[in-house]
Structure 1
């Protein structure tokens, strides 16, 4: 087995929130399902998002310069499958589904998401096959709901009301 395949297998064991990352503007309106999303700092509030350089969406994110990270609730599994390209829906059809609003910058925001983090791309770095986008957050919404996670190459649901036992 190649190191690349071993790495992919190892990463499948890293549970991650499911996000639909969107952009809109003069270059077009697109969205992708992504788990490669991570906080960087809270001052200024900044996230990073990794997008494959061979994806047609990569250039559109760069040209628009804005993003929204829509962290999916468990109810968004089908929506996340659409934006992962698993269902055959075209991009225009995906955004025609109920649940999308445009913000003041024409970036789609998912109603009912666990959190939405809207902002501008403040930096980019090309690393291997991906572009790492740094998003400076300008607006945030949050809700308490069950989460949609991705683990071991499968969608999983995480209940919001599960209490963690205290460690002595």
Structure 2
């Protein structure tokens, strides 16, 4: 087995939140499902998201310069599948599904998401096959709901307010 395949297998064991990353503007309106999203700093509030350079959305993200990270709630699994390209639904049709509205910058924001983080791309860097986008957050909305996670190549629900009990 190649190191690349071993790495992919290892990363499948890294539980991650499911996010739909969107942009809108002069270059177009697109979105992708991503798990490679991480906080960087709280001052200024910044996230990073990694996007494959072969993705058609990559260049549109760069040209528009604005993103919204929509952290999916458990009931948004089907929406996540659409934006992962798992259902064959065309991009323009995905944004016609219930729940989407445009913010003041014409970036799609998903109603009912666990969290939405809207902002501008402050920097990018190319690493291997991916572009790392740094998003400086300008607006945040959160809700208390169950989360949608991706673990071991499967979608899973993480219940809110459930604590792991301590060993005796």
Task: Indicate the TM-score class for this superposition, using the shorter chain for normalisation.
Answer: over 0.9
Partners in 2 of 1:21 and 1:109 — Cα distance? 9
Matched, 1:57 2:26: no
- Name the structure 2 match of 1:17: 17
Pairs within 5 Å for 1:133-144 = 133-144=133-144
- Unaligned stretches of 5+ residues in structure 1: none
CA apart distance, 1:164? 3.4
Partners in 2 of 1:46 and 1:156 — Cα distance? 26
CA apart distance, 1:166? 5.5
Partners in 2 of 1:38 and 1:5 — Cα distance? 23
SS of corresponding position for 1:31: strand
Partners in 2 of 1:110 and 1:142 — Cα distance? 11
Q: How many residue pairs get matched?
A: 168
Partners in 2 of 1:163 and 1:129 — Cα distance? 38
Give CA deviations for 1:124-146 in whole Å, capped at 9, x if unaligned: 00000000000000000000000
- Name the structure 2 match of 1:74: 74
SS of corresponding position for 2:112: coil
- Name the structure 2 match of 1:147: 147
CA apart distance, 1:58? 0.3
Give CA deviations for 1:1-43 in whole Å, capped at 9, x if unaligned: 0000000000000000000000000000000000000000000
Partners in 2 of 1:111 and 1:163 — Cα distance? 27
Partners in 2 of 1:109 and 1:166 — Cα distance? 38
- Unaligned stretches of 5+ residues in structure 2: none
Partners in 1 of 2:13 and 2:166 — Cα distance? 25
Partners in 1 of 2:164 and 2:10 — Cα distance? 26
Alpha carbon RMSD of aligned pairs, Å? 1.1
CA apart distance, 1:165? 3.2
SS of corresponding position for 2:62: helix
Partners in 2 of 1:121 and 1:16 — Cα distance? 22
Q: Which runs of 4+ in 1 moved over 4 A?
A: none
Partners in 1 of 2:61 and 2:47 — Cα distance? 15
Partners in 1 of 2:166 and 2:39 — Cα distance? 25
